[in-house]
Structure 1
Amino acid sequence: MAKTQPKLQDLVEIFIQSAVALDTTIKKNTQEHLKIGQNLSNITIKPDLTDVQINQQQYYEKINLQSQNYLQQINESSKYFEKVSQNFNTRNFRYLLILNLFFFLTSGTSIYIAIKKSIDKNKLLEIQKENEELKSKILNVSYFFTENPKSLKNYKKWRKKRRHK
């Protein structure tokens, strides 16, 4: 069986029927939309604020209780510091002041002595140079005595005589 193609007239008729059905559907939808809009505008919302007010009241009570606790702690700590400040009189303050002055003078004196006893860099270099020269002289003398053992014996005898005098 061969398929037959629909005629143009049939297609136009189907198209017109579809357009009419679409138009009626759009009109129905518009009417429903208007009804829903009217129903929504007629709805009045009355919120129940009692829960919010209860929560707010509980929150205020909680904050009030916390602030009273903090104030009580502050009062207790201020009483403690008041007792401490009453116990700390001017006599104790004088002792502390004298002790601090003593420590200050001691540290100042020790710093002064340390600075005064410190060696200048130039003096240090001179002392190091002299030390090197003396070491080289000692090495020369010890080398001389190792090369000349007779001179070493004569030197030891001369030294003993000098000590006994």
Structure 2
Amino acid sequence: MSKVLIVSDSHGLTKELEELKKKLAGEVDLMIHCGDSELPFDHQAISGFVTVRGNCDYETRYKEDIVQKVGNFNIFVTHGHLYSVKTSLMGLQYRAQELNANIVCFGHSHILGVEQVGDILYINPGSLRLPRRRHERTYVVLEMIEENISLQVFDFDQGEIMSLRQNFLLPKK
């Protein structure tokens, strides 16, 4: 079993990232930040996160895309601005297929969303600072066992949003 924390678009927040790290220490195997942290690469608040560069990140040491292997899954992490995610998932889909990824984590739109298309699961954890279409400041936790994925959405201020809990079945890569 593996657990993954996914956050995005924290836009300069540090206290919230530190609190999540402290709260989930020892519980998660991987912490992902999908960009627009607006923090220096070596800032303490972002340390420990696998982080990509967003359109508001001017730190050049962040990579545009990262692929992380976790258990049976290849996770493709990007911010999304280079793939026009505000209009379609098509660009992400093509890139995920090229990278043999079955989970795609991205941000940019600040809109919480989860969708499985074929053998690929797309996750936008929303925004810790400036959520759109919802008032909650959200993040996601995945629990992965074999091909099974349990997804939980959390409001930073109120805890898990139980009605958004979902399960997915993805084939091994």
TM norm structure 1? 0.12
User: Larger relative contact order (C-alpha < 8 A, sep ≥ 6)?
Assistant: 2
Where is the helix percentage greater, Structure 1 or Structure 2? 1
Bigger share in strand: 2
